[in-house]
Amino acid sequence: MIEIKNVTKKYGNKMALNDMSLTIESGDIFAFVGHNGAGKTTCIKCMTDIIEFENGDILYDGISIKNEPLKCKKDLAYIPDNPDLYEFLKGIDYLNFIADIFEIDNSRLEKINKYATEFGLKDALGNPIGSYSHGMKQKLAIIGALIHEPKYIILDEPFVGLDPVATKKLKDHMIEITKKGTSIFFSTHVLEVAEKLCNKIAIIKDGKLIKTGLMHDVLKDKSLEDIFMELENEKIS
């Protein structure tokens, strides 16, 4: 379980996250939705220890990322919105590096082969990442996230740049691993995907959570697009 407790993050005078609290339980596929600049990426970066935050805490099974970042990150996988990977490494070297960091034993090769075949990247693993397209980098980052079988996966716009086959594969994997207890938290602008794939949702506006809960409770008989537009219009009026 991930608990975000009263997290506040400021950039200068701008409040990027304002006293945000949220709980992601085991087995959840949690959609994180909001307009550009609402604070989604900032929240994700705080959750993954990429940036520091002023107040509050984020707990992974009760362990604070502030106090014990290594323990938390051992069970965590993160995929950013723009997968800037080490372009000087070959794809296979990157995956081997990730496997070393997560201390995966000799079973790594089997896992790498499995996911690389599924995502159609096996033939390109011998090439430098610098030669990859955006989608191929995204696939590599996804494989890197899956091979160590994390308890929590945090993704920032994971479907951007993926081809339809890879998108389908990723969705299937998301469903499959959450059944085993993994928690997935991802930001997206593709509301249809969020609506169909996720059991929970949080909507953020100007650094504040404005709606959160079970997907069907939030939607009732409306579409997510309608809900989102209503909330956006509330801001304008």
Partner 1 sequence: MKKFLKLTKINLYTFFDIHKIINARGFKEVKKVLPMLLLYIFSFGFLAFVIYKGVTFTLDGLIALNMPYIILVTVMIIVSTYSAIMTVFKINKTLFNAKDYTFLLSLPIKKSIIISSKIFNLYIINFVFGAMLLIPTYIAYIVKVDVDIWFHIMYLITFVLIPVIPTIIGSIIGTLFTAIISKFKYKNSFDILISIAFIFIIYYLSYKVQSMSSADLANISNFIVDKFNNIYPLTKVYLNIIKENSIFDLIFFIIISIGLYQLFKFGLVKFFDNINSKLSEVTIINKYREKDVKVSSKLYALYKKEIKRYFSSSLYVMNTAIGCIMLLLVLGAFAIFGGDTINKLLEIPELSNYLVFYGPLVFGVFCVISCTTNSSISLEGKNLWILKSLPINIKDIFISKIMVNLTILFPTILIASIMLAFISHLNVIQYLILLFTPVMYALFISGCGLLINLFFPDFNWTNEVKVIKQSIAVLASLAVGMLVAMAPLFIRIDINKTLYSFLVGVIVLFLTIILYYILFNKGKRIFKSL
Question: Per-residue string for binding with partner 1, 88-107, x by CB under 8 A?
Answer: xxxxxx--xxxxxxxxxxx-
Q: Which of 37, 126, 181, 213 binds partner 1 (CB under 8 A)?
A: 126
Instruction: Provide the minimum distance between the beta carbon of 184 and partner 1 in the complex, in angstroms, as a whole number.
Output: 16
Q: What is the 3-state secondary structure (H, E, C) of 61-128?
A: CCEECCCCHHHHHHCEEEECCCCCCCCCCEHHHHHHHHHHHCCCCCCHHHHHHHHHHHCCCHHHCCCE
Question: Per-residue string for binding with partner 1, 179-218, x by CB under 8 A?
Answer: ----------------------------------------
Residue 34 makes contact with partner 1 by CB under 8 A: no
HSE toward the beta carbon, residue 160, CA cutoff 13 A = 13
Instruction: Provide the minimum distance between the beta carbon of 109 and partner 1 in the complex, in angstroms, as a whole number.
Output: 5
CA gap 95, 126 in Å, rounded: 11
Q: Which of 2, 4, 20, 85 binds partner 1 (CB under 8 A)?
A: 85
CA gap 117, 111 in Å, rounded: 10
CA gap 208, 40 in Å, rounded: 10
Residue 208: strand pairing partners: 205
Residue 123 makes contact with partner 1 by CB under 8 A: yes
Residues that bind partner 1 (CB under 8 A): 12-13, 45, 48-50, 52, 69-71, 73-74, 76, 78, 80, 82, 84-86, 88-93, 96-106, 108-109, 112, 123-128, 130-131
